[in-house]
Structure 1
Amino acid sequence: MWTKHHKKRYLGRLVMPAITAVFLTYFGYHSVHGEFGLKATERFDAQLIDRKARLATLVEKRAMIEKEVALLSDGSLERDMLDEKARFALNMSRPDEIVIFH
């Protein structure tokens, strides 16, 4: 009968905890600094706030443009609006007028 006697290795006891520590460190680092980590989430939230503010300004601008179009394309054409748009498009004015573009 053959028997093998193994020496007790103290290094063998540290292998599993070391591998576990390496995995926890890797995943812990990427959960904070990774592409979808905590810091990236903060950047996404800041970007969302900026884009919502920009959307609000664009919605206001679109409402103003839609109002102007409604005045131009309505059944009764507004003479003032037509005159204003024609002068702006042709870059013309009367000699006694002061024109301020905004």
Structure 2
Amino acid sequence: MVFVFLRRSVRAICAPLLFLLLAAYFIWNALHGELGIRAYQHQKTLQAEAQLALANAHAEQNIWRRRVLALNENALDSDMLDERSRAMLNDSLKGDLVIPYGDKHPLY
């Protein structure tokens, strides 16, 4: 009689317990698994970092593109280039008017 009661109790408990364990397994995998919510959040942060790196790369590429376009021979102003080269080399022509600057007031 006791064995029959125990057997019926085990059968009554076994099916719901199996269902609860199976449900717990799927819930745990939905949160912590390879394709779970936490993995999704991690992928979203990686995507945001990659988009920021892409934006920085585009900005740097635009800077370099402007610098390369400025090297075009038509883009350079010959008078400004001549003035800057003379200032850097500390050079002048025979008819140039030279105004000396003191040490506290450099030209460049």
Taking structure 1 as the reference length, the TM-score comes to 0.60
Gaps of 5+ in 1: 1-6, 84-92, 96-102
How far the C-alpha of 1:27 sits from its partner, in A, is 0.7
Q: CA deviation at 1:71?
A: 2.4
Given the alignment of the two structures, is residue 76 of structure 1 paired with residue 74 of structure 2, yes or no? yes
Aligned 1:1-102 pairs, distance under 5 A? 7=4, 9-72=8-71, 74=72, 76=74, 78=76
Instruction: Note the alpha carbon deviations across 1:29-60, whole angstroms, 9 max, x for none.
Output: 11111112111122122222222221111110
Q: TM-score when scaled to structure 2?
A: 0.57
What SS does the aligned partner of 2:30 have? helix
Q: What is the alpha-carbon distance in structure 2 between the residues aligned to residue 94 and residue 47 of structure 1?
A: 50
Percent of aligned pairs sharing the same letter? 17
RMSD between superposed Cα atoms in Å? 2.8
User: 1:58 is matched by which residue type in structure 2?
Assistant: A
Rounded Cα–Cα distance in structure 2 between residues aligned with 1:94 and 1:43: 56
Give the letter for the 2:43 counterpart: F
Aligned match of 2:105: none
CA distance in 2, matches of 1:61, 1:76: 24
Distance 1:52 1:10 in 2: 58
